[in-house]
């Protein structure tokens, strides 16, 4: 993919999370990576979405050095970079403060898999990180945010559970592309809302492993049969 095309994809993903109601003002960011070139395209910090254009996006290296762009990159850049370095299948990362997913993060609770809507996209609960220590917050905060996410995924497949809740902060989601990452962020917010309503109604029993596996694997497994064959 050319960098110009990646810029357009990342711009569209940023606009999509606004359209879907996941972002207030400038509370969110999306990035995408060109793995072959080792370059990341990310939203600039604090720029209103209604004024955002492809030319405003910032291009950086995986070490965080700016290659192209006159604006400051998102303050969450270091977290995005940590995820790209740790999860080689990831091609796009989204961070929002969407209402229901953030509520679970603020409560320090994972989002349980209570039904098939959740299981269609996430192969089990959406995990929550431990709270960050004072020294992690005081120095290299965004880098350390990425580090606690990576540690939380030891033993988990990030492509089967493409999202996390950072305790007392908010959600991050990812995918093979920036567009897929935005899609997963939208679905994450929906299942967070559903789970909150279910728990409030007195429910909360986790879905059976058999039903979880059936719904996830029919869309994402080697023998997937949901939708049309890949062209």
Average pLDDT on 73-98 reads 98
* Cβ neighbours of 157 (radius 10 Å): 12
The pLDDT tens digits for 154-184 are 999 999 999 999 999 999 999 999 999 999 9
Q: How confident is the model at residue 20 (pLDDT cuts 50, 70, 90)?
A: very high
**Confidence check: pLDDT of 65 > 60:** yes
Average pLDDT on 86-92 reads 98
Q: Which neighbouring-strand residues pair with 40?
A: 33, 60
Tokens of 167: 């305790």
**Distances 178 to 5, 76, 82, 100, 200 between C-alpha atoms, Å:** 12, 16, 16, 22, 33
The pLDDT tens digits for 212-230 are 999 999 999 999 999 998 7
Decide: helix, strand or coil at residue 39: strand
The fraction of the chain above a pLDDT of 70, given in percent, is: 99
**Confidence check: pLDDT of 80 > 90:** yes
Looking at the annotation, which residues are catalytic?
Answer: 120, 226
Average pLDDT on 76-82 reads 98
**Confidence check: pLDDT of 2 > 90:** no
Q: Measured on CA atoms in the order 214, 174, 18, 79, is the torsion positive or negative?
A: positive
Average pLDDT on 172-198 reads 98
**Confidence check: pLDDT of 1 > 70:** no
- Is-contact 35 55, C-beta < 8 A? no
Average pLDDT on 88-96 reads 98
pLDDT of residue 231: 52
Average pLDDT on 107-136 reads 98
**Distances 61 to 12, 71, 200 between C-alpha atoms, Å:** 21, 15, 45
Average pLDDT, the chain: 96
Return the DSSP state at 27. Answer: -
């Amino acid at each position: 993919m050319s960098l110009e095309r990646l810029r357009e994809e990342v711009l569209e993903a940023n606009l999509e999370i606004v359209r879907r109601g996941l972002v207030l003002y400038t509370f969110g960011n999306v990035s995408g990576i060109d793995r072959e070139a080792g370059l990341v395209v990310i939203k600039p910090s604090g720029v209103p979405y209604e004024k955002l254009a492809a030319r405003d996006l910032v291009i950086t290296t995986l070490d965080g050095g700016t290659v192209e762009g006159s604006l400051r990159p998102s303050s969450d850049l270091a977290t995005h970079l940590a995820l790209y370095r740790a999860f080689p299948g990831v091609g796009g990362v989204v961070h929002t403060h969407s209402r229901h997913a953030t509520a679970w993060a603020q409560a320090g609770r994972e989002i349980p898999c209570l039904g098939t809507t959740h299981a269609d996209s996430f192969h089990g609960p959406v995990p929550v990180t431990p709270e960050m220590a004072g020294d992690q917050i005081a120095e290299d905060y965004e880098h350390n945010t990425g580090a606690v996410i990576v540690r939380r995924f030891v033993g988990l497949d990030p492509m089967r559970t493409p999202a996390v809740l950072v305790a007392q902060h908010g959600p991050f989601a990812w995918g093979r592309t920036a567009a897929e990452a935005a899609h997963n962020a939208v679905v994450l917010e929906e299942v967070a809302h559903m789970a909150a309503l279910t728990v409030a109604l007195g429910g909360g029993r986790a879905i059976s492993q058999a039903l979880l596996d059936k719904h996830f694997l029919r869309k994402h497994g080697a023998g997937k049969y949901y939708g049309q064959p890949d062209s």
